[in-house]
Amino acid sequence: MEEVSKRVDQFGGQLAELWQQVIAYLPQLIGALVVLLVGWLIARLLRAATLRLGAGLNRLLDRFFVRGPLRRVRLSQPALVLVGKVIFWLIILISITLASRTADLRLLSSWLDGVVTYVPTLLAGGLIILAGFLVSILARELTAATLSSAGVSEAELIGRGVQGTMLVLALIIGIQQIGVDVTVLVILIGIVAATSLGGLSLAFGLGARALVGNLIGARYMQQYVHAGQIARVGEIEGEILELTPTGLILATERGRTTVPAKLFNELPVLLITPSQDDEH
């Protein structure tokens, strides 16, 4: 019986000591919770302020850039939301770090200190990428507007190409600022770019082969023929109505017929004039 009573007293003493520790620790816990609550409120306010600031900036751009190449340069809603979320979670991270210090959670606070120390580097890389994104939009609009005014039909496509190039450069610089080795990424981008350009060159070469053949044939053909002659190219015969940069237009029994100029070098051509017949 004495043994049971002794154990009960020992348990009661341990419980009382634990309760005293909880009471002593309670101010630190409450302080940590207050820090988290204040940080959460500040994070929400800054996120909302970011969205409002972006909307206000877009309204200002709408007012001052109604016309011209900058008329479509605006901050997109997804980009504003992303920036707002980054700011929100950054404030939350700082709040958790301060709360862990207030609660005297040394292991957690030590780890979070390392994370927070790395945040400025991370933010610098993010700002570089964000600035590159904004500058790329401006470059796209200026390029498209300039080429459109010059009468280039693919102005929008070229503008998007300029934007994509600047985005890739900003991404590489931003990631390198963060501390990530981008050597492999640069090599991969170079390989992809070289492959793409090689494929485009090959496709253009194959697609333009017929055009180049016609241009060369037309240059050679114009030295020997002229409008008004009767010409037979292969099985096609008719009066030459016109010489084009890439061929002949003949008046045949079936109507106007276009003959590619490259056939002038590939098929027998009979030229008939009122006075003589020439074969080439």
pLDDT tens-digit readout, 36-70: 899 899 999 998 998 888 888 878 777 776 665 55
Q: Does one domain contain both 110 and 222?
A: no
pTM for this entry: 0.49
Pair 12, 133 in one domain:
yes
Say whether both 24 and 159 belong to one domain.
Answer: yes
Res 202: pLDDT: 67
Structural domain of 277: 181-280
Residues 34 and 155 in one domain: yes
Are 112 and 6 members of one domain? yes
Q: Which of 131, 163, 180 is the last residue of a domain?
A: 180
172/210 same-domain check: no
Residue 150's H or E segment, with its range, is none
Is 28 in the same domain as 166?
A: yes
- Evaluate if residue 2 carries a pLDDT over 90: no
Say whether both 139 and 31 belong to one domain: yes
Lowest-pLDDT range, 82-86, 256-260, 261-265?
Answer: 261-265
Q: DSSP secondary-structure letter at 179?
A: T
pLDDT of 146 over the 90 cut: no
Contact residues for 159 (Cβ-Cβ < 8 A; gap 6+): 139, 140, 141, 143, 144, 147
Q: Is 12 exposed, middle or buried (0-12, 13-18, 19+ CB in 10 A)?
A: exposed
- Is beta strand 230-233 parallel, antiparallel or unpaired with respect to 236-244? antiparallel
Same domain, yes or no: 162 and 203: no
